């Protein structure tokens, strides 16, 4: 029997009243997340059906005919496979925009409910991930970074929401980290960071073991699939080659002792060296092209890995110098064109879209063919004005500059100082993960602007924790202690005042209380 119209109206009024009550409780966050949602809508209308990066077409190729890719794990391709029946890159972009909004909600809810910050403070901490123009553009790209960041934030939120996680929470965290690891290889350091956090929080070896097992089992399953397809028990066959790009900038074979003859081809004299580390992989003049066969082959990866480790051990100071240089590049105020204009432009909302690439993906099929087949139509990005112009102008002026990110990280570190006996308290987890995600590319490959954005929500969360009641109470206690020490060590004048206060009338000493 149908519900009477009066009851339907009452139900609608009740839902509207509940929504309005929520808005009144969280006014600042409501304004920010509504603005963030509208900006993402403008981006989706302005750039239809989505935007693409060079890596997009590798992920898409795997989604077209699944196989373990040698360069990067297939986690993001699994998402594309799941959405494939809808034949819509716009849906992929929508899912990623919802992930971006979800990260802002996680930051706000953690700081508001778990760490009892005022609403405006928690909303301010969520603003960088919600309102950053480059974050919005990254979500519009068919690329793995948004999914990876979302998964890491889910794991962090689960751990921080509970003071003492249960085995179910620990298993869920491990599974989420496994998905993040299979989305981007840098997920492995995330696992190490989570286990370190559980250790310093004394969560117990059982919970740590549950997290580790829940994470490792899916990874082993993926590696088993890789072995069945390629004969090698691995996740990728590219770590050594990417590490080679890191040492390419400074490697001096004259300083490497006992270098195997088969690795001589990887040496390059300084005068013949290409300008960027990535040229050591992708440029046609790369020394890797001196070997026959596929560039990303097991043998090339083995040779590049062994060569790179020998170079690092022989030139540790040079290695530390290039890592520090790329790490500090994150915190520059201005964004400069890097590593080249073509790559940099892919991180921008542009006035004109490029044609889909005609790269041969095998069996006579091009990247454009596979993209059009996935979309079931023309997949080329269409720039729709005036919406495209609005989001372009927004991106040009509203984004988190590198120096601002440095200030956010410094704020988070400051909040950890009073809790140093407990390794900085719960902020240890998001802060160390943020720094680790910034440091990993500098240590293993090369700086890239899109590698910075996954660290932003974690850094913002750690900075927000600095204003939690516990940290504020510690700072207040520290201030009282400093003032008390100042009164004790006040110098001769202060001592004379103390003596006068203890004397009787006309300078007569007051009687001893014991007497």
Taking the C-alpha atoms of residue 381 and residue 378, their distance in angstroms, rounded to an integer, is 9
| Residues facing residue 383 across a β-bridge | 47
Cα–Cα distance measured from residue 39 to residue 31, given in angstroms and rounded to the nearest whole number:
12
Q: Is the CA virtual torsion 11, 12, 16, 22 positive or negative? A: positive
Q: Would you list the domain boundaries of the chain?
A: 17-53+88-142+335-400
> H helices of 349-502, where?
367-375, 387-397, 402-416, 428-444, 456-465, 469-488, 491-502
Tens digits of pLDDT across the chain (515 residues): 455 666 677 667 767 776 677 777 889 999 999 999 999 999 999 999 999 999 999 999 999 999 999 999 999 999 999 999 999 999 999 999 999 999 999 999 999 999 999 999 999 999 999 999 999 999 999 999 999 999 999 999 999 998 889 999 999 999 999 999 999 999 999 999 999 999 999 999 999 999 999 999 999 999 999 999 988 899 998 899 999 999 998 999 999 988 999 999 999 888 888 888 888 888 888 898 888 888 888 888 999 999 999 999 999 999 999 999 999 999 999 999 888 888 899 999 999 999 999 999 988 899 999 999 999 999 999 999 999 999 999 999 999 999 999 999 999 999 999 888 888 899 999 999 999 999 999 999 889 999 999 999 999 999 999 999 888 888 888 888 888 887 776 655 544 444 334 333 333 333 343 33
Predicted TM-score (pTM) of this structure: 0.90
Tokens representing residue 436 in the block = 């680790």
């Amino acid at each position: 029997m149908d519900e009477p119209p009066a009851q339907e109206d009452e139900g609608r009024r009740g839902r509207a009243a509940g929504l309005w009550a929520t808005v009144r409780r969280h006014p600042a966050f409501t304004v920010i997340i509504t603005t963030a949602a509208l900006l993402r809508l403008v981006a989706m209308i302005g750039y239809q059906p989505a935007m693409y990066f060079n890596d997009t077409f590798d992920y898409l190729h795997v989604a077209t005919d699944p196989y373990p890719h040698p360069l990067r794990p297939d986690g993001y391709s699994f998402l594309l496979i799941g959405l494939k029946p809808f034949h819509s890159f716009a849906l992929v972009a929508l899912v990623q925009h919802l992930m971006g909004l979800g990260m802002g909600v996680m930051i706000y809810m953690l700081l508001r409910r778990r760490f009892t910050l005022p609403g405006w403070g928690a909303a301010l901490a969520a603003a960088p991930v919600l309102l950053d123009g480059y974050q919005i553009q990254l979500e519009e790209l068919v690329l793995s970074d948004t999914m990876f960041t979302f998964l890491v934030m889910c794991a962090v939120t689960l751990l921080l929401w509970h003071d003492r996680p249960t085995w179910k929470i620990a298993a869920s965290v491990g599974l989420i980290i496994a998905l993040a690891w299979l989305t981007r290889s840098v997920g492995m350091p995330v696992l190490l960071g989570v286990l370190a956090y559980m250790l310093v929080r004394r969560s117990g070896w059982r919970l740590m073991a549950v997290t580790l097992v829940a994470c490792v089992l899916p990874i082993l399953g993926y590696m088993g699939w890789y072995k069945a397809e390629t004969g090698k028990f691995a996740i990728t066959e590219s770590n050594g080659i990417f590490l080679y790009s890191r040492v390419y900038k400074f490697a001096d074979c004259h300083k490497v002792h006992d270098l195997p003859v088969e690795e001589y081809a990887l040496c390059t004299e300084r005068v013949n060296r290409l300008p960027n580390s990535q040229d050591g992989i992708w440029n046609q003049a790369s020394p890797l092209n001196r070997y026959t066969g596929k560039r990303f082959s097991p043998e090339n990866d083995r040779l590049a890995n062994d060569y790179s480790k020998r170079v690092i051990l022989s030139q540790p100071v040079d290695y530390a110098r290039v890592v520090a240089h790329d790490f500090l590049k994150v915190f520059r105020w201005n964004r400069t064109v890097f590593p080249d204009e073509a790559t940099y432009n892919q991180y921008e909302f542009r006035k004109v879209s490029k044609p889909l690439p005609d790269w041969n993906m095998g069996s006579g099929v091009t990247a454009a063919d596979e993209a059009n087949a996935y979309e079931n139509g023309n997949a080329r990005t269409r720039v729709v004005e005036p919406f495209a112009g609005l989001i372009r102008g927004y991106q040009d002026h509203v984004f988190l500059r590198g120096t601002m990110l440095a200030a956010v990280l410094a704020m988070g570190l400051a909040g950890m100082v009073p809790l140093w006996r407990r390794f900085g308290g719960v902020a240890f987890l998001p802060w160390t993960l943020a720094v680790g995600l910034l440091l990993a590319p500098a240590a293993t490959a090369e700086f890239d602007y899109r590698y910075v954005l996954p660290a932003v929500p974690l850094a913002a969360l750690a900075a927000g924790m600095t204003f939690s009641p516990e940290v504020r109470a510690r700072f207040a206690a520290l201030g009282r202690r400093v003032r008390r020490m100042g009164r004790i060590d006040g110098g001769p004048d202060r001592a004379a005042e103390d003596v006068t206060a203890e004397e009787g009338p006309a300078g007569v000493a007051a009687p001893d209380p014991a007497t």
